[in-house]
Amino acid sequence: MPEAGAAPLGRLAIVGLGLIGSSIARGARRYGLAETIVAIDRDAAVRARVLELGLAEQVTGDAAQGVAGADLVILCVPVGAVGTVAAEIAPHLAAGAILSDVGSVKGSVVAAVAPHLPAGVAFVPGHPVAGTEYSGPDAGFSTLFQNRWCILTPPEGTDEAAVARVRGVWEGLGAIVETMSPEHHDLVLAITSHVPHLIAYNIVGTAADLEEVTQSEVIKFSAGGFRDFTRIAASDPTMWRDVFLTNKDAVLEMLGRFNEDLAALARAIRWGDGEALHALFTRTRAIRRGIVAMGQETAEPDFGRRKEG
């Protein structure tokens, strides 16, 4: 459970109540991080469900109305839509308000938001490195960010008090907060998140395209590595489309390095170089153990994933 921090926000506005937005709302409610939570979503069905779940004191489809008077506004929309939403709400943000986001790409987000930022409003971009393959307001849970990283990428000159305020909110949600430049963030996340998702989408797509293997056989024998790729490949398609389009330079750089390493691996297999294969697998196994040791994953069978059914 998060430790007690700064005084709660008076008014927290969340734009987009999917997995991340609804988890922030749940966590803010559970840990007393805001006196009033405002849920903003253009989808009427989502708004109705948010009301049923009791995730916010106020629910609206009018972003301008929803952000009025907010101390902190968090954009939980696909990165491709951040600029449009920022332009819509900017004239209605109160002086002294803080604007943030949760996108997994930061350079393009800063570029999209900066032109619309009014004087007296600080922008502290953020990226909680947490999630599941599920989406929508029902998918969220208050402990999603517990012991998970949240990276803040404030542009140069951002008010330090605003950065500290956003840091406090994420720490209040249980996250471990790190700060870095938007450019460095995008390079790091390209290899730790974006390229792995791209590979997962590709492998699952390749399996689906194989005429020699029927779909029923793919599903039947998916208890091995393929099953774990399908979990990643089930992630929100709109979000990931935008990620690859907005972080394409870093992704292509990391993909180039991956292709070179993959070619070397293929040569080792072709020439029966068991020593090279064993050395690689030993090194990568140590990486996995390091992730578990840092508390970013579990060593339980099946990764501790809940069984479907």
For residue 208 the two structure tokens come to 């689906």
137 vs 223, which has greater pLDDT?
Answer: 137
State the Cα–Cα distance between residues 242 and 59, nearest whole angstrom. Answer: 26
Q: Are 159 and 122 in contact (CB under 8 A)?
A: yes
User: Cα angle at 285 between 279 and 291, to 5 degrees?
Assistant: 145
Cross-strand bridge partners of residue 150: 128, 177
Please name the residue that has the structure tokens 């989408």: 201
What proportions of the chain, in percent to the nearest 5, are helix, strand and coil?
55, 15, 35
The amino acid at 27 = G
The mean pLDDT of 81-86, rounded to a whole number, is 96
pLDDT digits (tens, 9 = 90+) for 49-77: 999 999 999 999 999 999 999 999 999 99
**Burial group, residue 260, by CB count within 10 angstroms (0-12, 13-18, 19+):** exposed
230 vs 220, which has greater pLDDT?
Answer: 230
* Domain boundaries, given as residue ranges, for the chain: 9-180, 184-297
pLDDT recorded at residue 223: 66
DSSP 8-state secondary structure symbol assigned to residue 158? -
- Topology of domain 9-180, per CATH? Rossmann fold (3.40.50)
pLDDT recorded at residue 210: 72
220: pLDDT confidence band, cut at 50, 70 and 90? confident
pLDDT recorded at residue 215: 62
Judge whether residue 99 has pLDDT over 80: yes
pLDDT digits (tens, 9 = 90+) for 164-183: 999 999 999 999 999 999 99
pLDDT recorded at residue 286: 79
pLDDT digits (tens, 9 = 90+) for 174-218: 999 999 999 999 999 998 888 988 998 898 888 777 756 666 677
CB atoms within 10 A of CB 276: 15
pLDDT digits (tens, 9 = 90+) for 243-302: 999 999 999 999 999 999 999 999 999 999 999 999 998 988 877 776 667 666 655 545
State the Cα–Cα distance between residues 154 and 135, nearest whole angstrom. Answer: 27
User: What's this model's pTM, rounded to 2 decimal places?
Assistant: 0.82
pLDDT digits (tens, 9 = 90+) for 4-32: 456 789 999 999 999 999 999 999 999 99
CB atoms within 10 A of CB 34: 25
Say whether 184-297 and 9-180 share the same fold. no
For residue 110 the two structure tokens come to 């800063």
pLDDT digits (tens, 9 = 90+) for 125-162: 999 998 877 889 999 999 999 999 999 999 999 999 99
CATH code for the part of the protein at 184-297: 1.10.3660.10
pLDDT recorded at residue 7: 78
